[in-house]
Amino acid sequence: MKVFVAVDMEGIAGLVQWDAADRDVERRLMTEEVNAAARGAIAGGATEVCAGESHGNMRNLLPELLDPRVGFLSGQPKPMNHAGGVDGSFDLALLVGYHSKAGTLHGVMAHTFNLSIFSLSFNGTEVGEIGTDAALCGHHGVPVGLVAGDRAACEEARALLGNVETVAVKEGVSRSAARCVPVSRARAQIEEAAGRAVRRVSELQPFTFAGPVTVEVVFVDPSLADALEPLDFVTRADGRTIRFVAEDYLAAFERFNALHFLAPVVR
């Protein structure tokens, strides 16, 4: 059984704010949570584990600390962004260190891809990075079995994905403060939940959006919508909102992914 582990930073145990001074700590904590998920997955029956980077420059995992049984994909840009590396050969995906979508009450470091996006919807369903990445896995027939992050992220995951395993490693009291579970306990819980997810794989269904897929992006700043309006596949819906349609979810996501990188540059 092949298992894909996607790792972000904002939902990692012990981290509550963006701070360049924490860079070395962030990388070590992220790597160790991947290790915990991998140990659990292998104990549950996984025969191969691959980790994919989902944060910032996507060069966060520390190779010398990573479990030697785990392959990893590092760096960007890459197709499918956070879910780069997923294909139909995988049986299960685990999302570690994830956060809630932009605007979530008490979501620790909550955002949707970058700070310029107010909301993102596919076929009328608003999603954050949990939903987009789960649907990228789902496009290839791969279900998500575990989401680990802050409590708001876990609640978002259950509402969207159903009965997946979740591990809440902290609970936000604001966007940049949280009550934190001790790191060692959080890793133990992730390891246990990853094992359960692998053993439950036959119960899990891929999360998908049926094509054609309509995408709606609401920006914080209207000037970003201004920048994208001239594109021939984009429709301007209002001052901050653009829409476009693609034949399937993968095409829809890749267009969104390109636009969300380009719009702030044009501005």
Q: Quick one: 194 and 260 in the same domain?
A: no
pLDDT score for 21? 87
136 and 260 housed in the same domain: no
Name the residue range of residue 250's domain.
213-266
pLDDT tens per residue across span 41-95: 999 999 999 999 999 898 999 999 999 999 999 999 999 999 999 999 999 999 9
Does 164 fall in a domain?
yes
**Residues 159-203 pLDDT 10s:** 999 999 999 999 999 999 999 999 999 999 999 999 999 999 999
- Which of 148, 168, 203 terminates a domain? The answer is 203
Asked, for residue 208, whether it belongs to a domain, the answer is no
Q: How far apart are CA 123 and CA 23, in angstroms?
A: 37
Per-residue pLDDT at 9: 97
Could you tell me if 30 and 153 lie in one domain?
yes
Higher pLDDT, 260 or 137: 137
Residues 176 and 86 placed together within one structural domain of the fold:
yes
Give the contacts of 130 (CB within 8 A, at least 6 positions apart): 95, 98, 100, 101, 147, 153, 156, 157, 160, 161
- Which residue from 46, 50, 41, 142 is spatially nearest to 88, judged by alpha carbons? 142
Whether this model's pTM surpasses 0.85: yes
Q: Are residues 73 and 190 in the same domain?
A: yes
Is 220 a domain residue?
yes
Domain stop point among 171, 203, 235: 203
pLDDT at residue number 265: 73
Domain limit, last residue, from 203, 232, 257: 203
Total of domains in the chain: 2
Among residues 33, 36, 24, 39, which one has the least CA distance to residue 53? 33
pLDDT (0 to 100) of residue 261: 84
129 and 256 inside one domain = no
> Do residues 158 and 228 both lie within one domain?
no
Looking at residue 59, its pLDDT comes to 93
User: 244 lies in a domain?
Assistant: yes
Same domain membership, residue 49 and residue 106 = yes
Residues 153 and 260 in one domain: no
pLDDT confidence of residue 20 = 87
Same domain, 162 and 241: no
Q: d(Cα 73, Cα 71) in Å, to the nearest integer? A: 7
Read off the pLDDT of residues 115-144 as tens digits, 9 standing for 90 and up: 999 999 999 999 999 999 999 999 999 999
pLDDT value at residue 154:
98
Q: What integer is the mean pLDDT of 135-155?
A: 98
Return the CATH number at 135. Answer: 3.40.50.10780
Our answer to whether residue 111 is catalytic in this structure is yes
Among residues 111, 139, 140, 260, the one annotated as catalytic is: 111
Give the pLDDT mean for 140-162: 98
Rg (the chain; Cα; Å):
18
Q: Is the pLDDT of residue 212 over 90?
A: yes
Question: Would you say 12 and 150 are in contact if contact means Cβ atoms under 8 Å apart?
Answer: no
**67 within some domain:** yes
On whether both 40 and 101 belong to a single domain, the answer is yes
Position 248 in a domain: yes
CB-based contacts of 197: which residues, under 8 Å, 6+ apart? 40, 41, 44, 92, 94, 145, 146, 164, 165, 204
* Whole-number pLDDT of residue 110: 98
Residue 133 resides in a domain: yes
The reply to whether 53 and 159 lie within a common domain is yes
Output the pLDDT for position 266.
65
